[in-house]
A and B are shown apart, each in its own frame.
Chain A
Amino acid sequence: MKPQIDILKNELLIPSSTDFLADVRNFVEMIGLRIGLENQTIAHIKLAVDEACTNIIKHAYNGSIDKNIKIRIDTSPKKFTVIIRDNGKSFDPELISEPNIEESQKMKKGGGLGMFLMKKLMDEVKYKTNSAGNELLLIKHLN
């Protein structure tokens, strides 16, 4: 499967592989530019969405590349909202601890930074899970 984009709905569907992270970033950039966001704001949202999709590919889908991730962007004069849906394993965002980079380095481990970065880069990060799947909302307030 290839990435499928629905311009009218502001929706992108990608297979669950890191092969398509560049498509995700390009999609966010395209919509950000279309509504006239500043370059730095676009860069921050792109990175947050990349981190979210990377986490889904690695953790929710555990590396299976035959699943999908759906990304939709809702825009209003006040908010830029990215809604990311998957059907993989859910998680409890409350249980994700703040990264301790010094400690990870000593253990020769990378990783564990994605959720922290999303929270730093976005104004709101919300996560919901139900029988239909998992939904992550990344929201940037626009002033």
Chain B
Amino acid sequence: MADFNVSSRFDGDVSLIDVKGYLDAHTAPELENEFNKLIEKKQFKVVVNFKELNYISSAGLGVFMAYVETMREQSGDIKFSNLNDDVYSIFDLLGFPVLYEFFKEEAEAIKKFG
């Protein structure tokens, strides 16, 4: 059983999603639920903090692909912070850095939302 946990915090109008452990096809639906909850609450500015994420497969990347347009249509976005080198390398391999903003620290990502 893959070990994964997702939870949200808030900083003003920015939602901060913390992902922990292993994000794969088994656990990706938990992340989808978290995005659905934010959309219900009309929270469209999202920073995903990867500090405690050990592993991501394409099922995890697919969640961001499926939700980012909804956030951008509502003047929000999904930004990424605190990725370890291994996790970042997978995003990089697929060309995500051209389509998303990545930050070393969560605070920089929050600031970018203004």
Contact = CB atoms under 8 A, between A and B. Distances in A.
Interface of A: 18-19, 21-22, 25, 40, 43, 47, 50-51, 54, 57-58, 99, 101-102, 104-106, 108-114, 116-117, 120-121
Contacts of B58: 51, 54, 111, 113-114, 117
A110 B62 contact: yes
Q: Which 4 residue pairs of A and B lie closest in terms of their CB atoms, listed nearest first?
A: A110-B62, A18-B26, A113-B58, A110-B66
Interface string B1-42: 111000000000000000000101110000000000000000
Contacts of B69: 105-106, 108
A79 B106 CA distance: 41
Contact of B26 (A19, A101, A105, A120): A19
Contacts of A110: 59, 61-66
Contacts of B22: 22
Contacts of A54: 24-25, 57-59
Given A21-B2, A47-B57, 9 more contacts: A18-B25, A21-B25, A21-B57, A40-B86, A109-B62, A110-B61, A110-B65, A116-B94, A121-B93
Interface SS majority for chain A: helix
Contacts of B66: 105, 108-110
B50 to A, nearest CB: 15
Nearest to A17: B26
A117 B65 CA distance: 16
Contacts of A51: 57-58
B48 to A, nearest CB: 14
A22 B57 contact: no
